[in-house]
Amino acid sequence: MIQNIEPHIYNNTYLTKEQKNTDHVFVFQSGKILLVKKEQNWTVPTRQDIGALKQFEKQETIYLFSIDDQAIFLLKDFAGKTYINNDFTNMKENEISDETTFAYHALSVLRNFTPKWLGFAGITANHLYNWYRSNQFCGCCGTPMDLSTTERAVRCPNCGFTDYPKICPAIIVGVIHEDKILMTKYANRSFKKYALIAGFCEIGETLEDTVRREIMEEVGLKVKNIRYYNNQPWGFSSSLLIGFFADLDGDNQIALDTNELAEAEWFNREDIPEDEENKLSLTYTMMMAFKNQQI
Ligand SMILES: [Zn+2]
């Protein structure tokens, strides 16, 4: 899965790091990521690469985490403090020299990035970016927040309120009935491939409560024997995905919630389609575990 980056090691202990020219800098804008072209391959720019861009050369960065001894930074773009030049984001490619070209790419490039550890770093950096971006002002008194210098947090200089990165737990569940699994397709989403039933935990619920509620809401079915399978940090939706399998309990008549789903269908193991593009997701790992008789 995307987080399995062995032999590399993800280290999110908060450190105060001086940035080296070789450290990677993530730049996100409007659901896109800035990449640089080197030897015909698009990759994540280093501090040195970023320095070639007039818009960014004086911009500060925020230390996020490390992978091995490689520190990962985010370009700081707090509203009211520093702005990224928006004209730049509208350009398709920005050629700096014969060797260096920059362009914004869809975030989905991170799903199958080479090297893989940098893709995981990007998804995780995007989670932190979205949190920093939506916590620029104190939720209690409206004062612009300061970055804490001692921990990964923002702190209000007026009232002292301190806020920490938020992780939203969400479940994915493979519902099994007579050696078949229930596969779905989302309605009104850019992701058009098969998925399993999924949804965010609501306040006051256990994970099992969420599993039962989501299945009832989306397909009108009851389940029993809910069992944990695996989990995955998924920064695209600021979530931690927790995977379960469960057995149908009673009637198998599907009542589709057409606001959420375009289809829901029982699949035999051998009919589950393979999909190289999404092989690093927990959803796909669960589908393949069922297909390959591991469940
Ligand atoms: Zn405050």
Question: What are the pLDDT digits (tens) for 85-104?
Answer: 444 444 455 555 556 688 88
Q: Are 275 and 286 in contact (CB under 8 A)?
A: no
Interval 31-43: pLDDT, tens: 889 899 888 889 9
Degrees (nearest 5) of the Cα angle 72, 78, 83?
100
- 245 vs 278, higher pLDDT: 245
The DSSP output letter for 143 is: P
Average pLDDT over residues 203-219: 97
Q: Residue 284 and residue 7: Cα distance in Å, rounded?
A: 23
- The type of residue at 177 is H
pLDDT tops 70 at residue 288: yes
For ligand 1, the distance from its centroid to the CA atom of residue 136, given in whole angstroms, is 11
Interval 174-191: pLDDT, tens: 999 999 999 999 887 777
pLDDT tops 80 at residue 112: yes
Q: Residue 167 and residue 96: Cα distance in Å, rounded?
A: 38
Q: Are 284 and 278 in contact (CB under 8 A)?
A: yes
Q: Are 221 and 215 in contact (CB under 8 A)?
A: yes
Q: Residue 130 and residue 61: Cα distance in Å, rounded?
A: 15
The pLDDT, as a whole number, for residue 60 is 80
SS3 251: coil
The pLDDT, as a whole number, for residue 95 is 55
Exposure of 158 in the CB half-sphere (CA atoms within 13 A): 9
For ligand 1, the distance from its centroid to the CA atom of residue 159, given in whole angstroms, is 4
For ligand 1, the distance from its centroid to the CA atom of residue 239, given in whole angstroms, is 26
Q: Residue 22 and residue 43: Cα distance in Å, rounded?
A: 13
pLDDT band at 133 (very low <50, low <70, confident <90, very high): confident
Give the helix ranges, DSSP H, for the chain. 47-50, 86-90, 116-133, 207-219, 282-291
177 forms bridges with which residues in the sheet?
180
Interval 262-277: pLDDT, tens: 899 999 999 999 988 7
**Phi, psi (deg, nearest 5) at residue 90:** -80, -10
For ligand 1, the distance from its centroid to the CA atom of residue 158, given in whole angstroms, is 5
Beta strands in 70-188 (DSSP E): 70-75, 94-95, 101-106, 146-147, 154-155, 162-163, 168-177, 180-186
Q: Residue 43 and residue 50: Cα distance in Å, rounded?
A: 12
The pLDDT, as a whole number, for residue 96 is 55
For ligand 1, the distance from its centroid to the CA atom of residue 40, given in whole angstroms, is 48
For ligand 1, the distance from its centroid to the CA atom of residue 139, given in whole angstroms, is 7
